């Protein structure tokens, strides 16, 4: 049961194996949720030893997601496709978006069948939401999925959410091509709400030890430098103010007081137009 052998199993098989640390459940553990198993907690604790700021980074990331969805919904974009949506927690995308636009359609997409069981349970009586199991590496299949097309009008602006997702793709998965496909497929005035783990300011050894924790998990981790994260976007996207910044600093109102202690730039987030 070396990581390389594990990788021969499908994502679904690994996600259902209680001995394989699961990236969705590890994140839930960092957020203080209840949906995690011993292997997830062990791996999460191992990561906290190497990178004690990870819990704050996860909380800051989740708070950024809420602020960004609220701002985008308030700007008039009323349809959301949340890819790599994760286990339902507080301030899920449909809750935030539908507070601003009560009938905002929201499609949740995740590769992990366990995540989707939880998502379906909390969304059962929400007529404006849909849940799709899919792999972001097959972005065309997501954009063409019948349930996506049923709920989302490709003649109107769309907000795609890919928050804390693309660092689970290796360079070989070509995450830049995924961003490029979105740029071509989305209607004008669409946005991409985005965040990604960032290696700036970290020792190489810390990055290696932290990413090694994920080598036996459901998905591997590829943290990238801010230059490499910017490069995923090519030159066709522009960043909504305040740009691609540490998630903690992504605030529309500069007077908005931070809820968490100010953190190093280990998680970058922004809204790309
Ligand atoms: N977006 C949420 C947030 O930031 O609060 C949850 C992020 S969670 C850390 C990452 C999610 O990405 C997990 O639920 C995992 O199952 C999902 N994921 C990982 N690889 C994926 C892939 N190739 N396609 C779709 N989802 C994926």
**Is there an atom of ligand 1 within 6 Å of 35 CB?**
no
List the Cα angle 253/255/257 in 5-degree steps: 105
Number of domains in the chain: 1
Ligand 1: centre distance to CA 32 (Å): 17
Spans of the chain, pLDDT less than 50: 1-5
Whether the CB-CB separation of 22 and 213 falls below 8 Å is answered with no
Is 80 part of a structural domain of the chain?
yes
**CATH number of residue 176's parent domain:** 3.40.50.150
pLDDT confidence of residue 263: 56
User: Can you tell me the distance from the alpha carbon of 215 to that of 212, in angstroms, rounded to the nearest whole number?
Assistant: 5
Instruction: Give the residue whose CA is nearest to atom 14 of ligand 1.
Output: 86
Is 102 part of a structural domain of the chain?
yes
Is 131 part of a structural domain of the chain?
yes
Residue 137 CA, closest ligand 1 atom number: 23
Is 216 part of a structural domain of the chain?
no
Ligand 1: centre distance to CA 268 (Å): 16
Complex prediction ipTM:
0.99
Is 240 part of a structural domain of the chain?
yes
Is 190 part of a structural domain of the chain?
yes
Whole domain around residue 150: which residue ranges?
A: 54-199+221-272
User: Can you tell me the distance from the alpha carbon of 254 to that of 45, in angstroms, rounded to the nearest whole number?
Assistant: 34
**Is there an atom of ligand 1 within 6 Å of 111 CB?**
yes
The predicted-structure confidence for 158-202, as pLDDT tens digits, reads as follows: 999 999 999 999 999 999 999 999 999 999 999 999 999 999 999
């Amino acid at each position: 049961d070396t990581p390389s052998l594990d990788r021969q199993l499908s994502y679904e098989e690994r996600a259902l194996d209680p001995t394989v640390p699961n990236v969705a459940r590890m994140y839930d553990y960092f957020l203080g949720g209840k949906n995690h198993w011993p292997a997830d907690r062990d791996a999460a604790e191992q990561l906290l030893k190497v990178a004690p700021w990870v819990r704050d980074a996860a909380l800051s990331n989740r708070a950024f997601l809420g602020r960004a969805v609220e701002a985008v919904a308030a700007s008039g974009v009323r349809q959301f496709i949340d890819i790599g949506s994760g286990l339902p927690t507080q301030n899920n995308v449909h809750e935030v978006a539908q507070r601003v636009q009560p009938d905002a359609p929201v499609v949740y997409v995740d590769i992990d069948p366990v995540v989707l069981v939880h998502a379906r349970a909390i969304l059962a009586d929400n007529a404006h939401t849909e849940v799709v199991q899919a792999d972001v590496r097959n972005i065309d299949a997501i954009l063409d999925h019948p349930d996506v097309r049923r709920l989302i009008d490709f003649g109107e602006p769309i907000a795609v959410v890919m928050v804390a997702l693309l660092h689970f793709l290796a360079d070989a998965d070509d995450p830049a091509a995924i961003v490029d496909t979105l740029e071509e497929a989305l209607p004008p005035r669409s946005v991409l709400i985005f965040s990604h783990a960032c290696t700036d300011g970290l020792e190489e050894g810390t990055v290696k030890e932290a990413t090694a924790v994920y080598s036996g998990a459901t998905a591997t981790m590829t943290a990238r430098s801010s230059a490499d994260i910017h490069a995923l976007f090519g030159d066709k996207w522009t960043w909504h103010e305040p740009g691609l910044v540490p998630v903690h600093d992504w605030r529309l109102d500069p007077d908005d007081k931070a809820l968490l202690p100010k953190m190093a730039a280990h998680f970058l987030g922004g809204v790309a137009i």
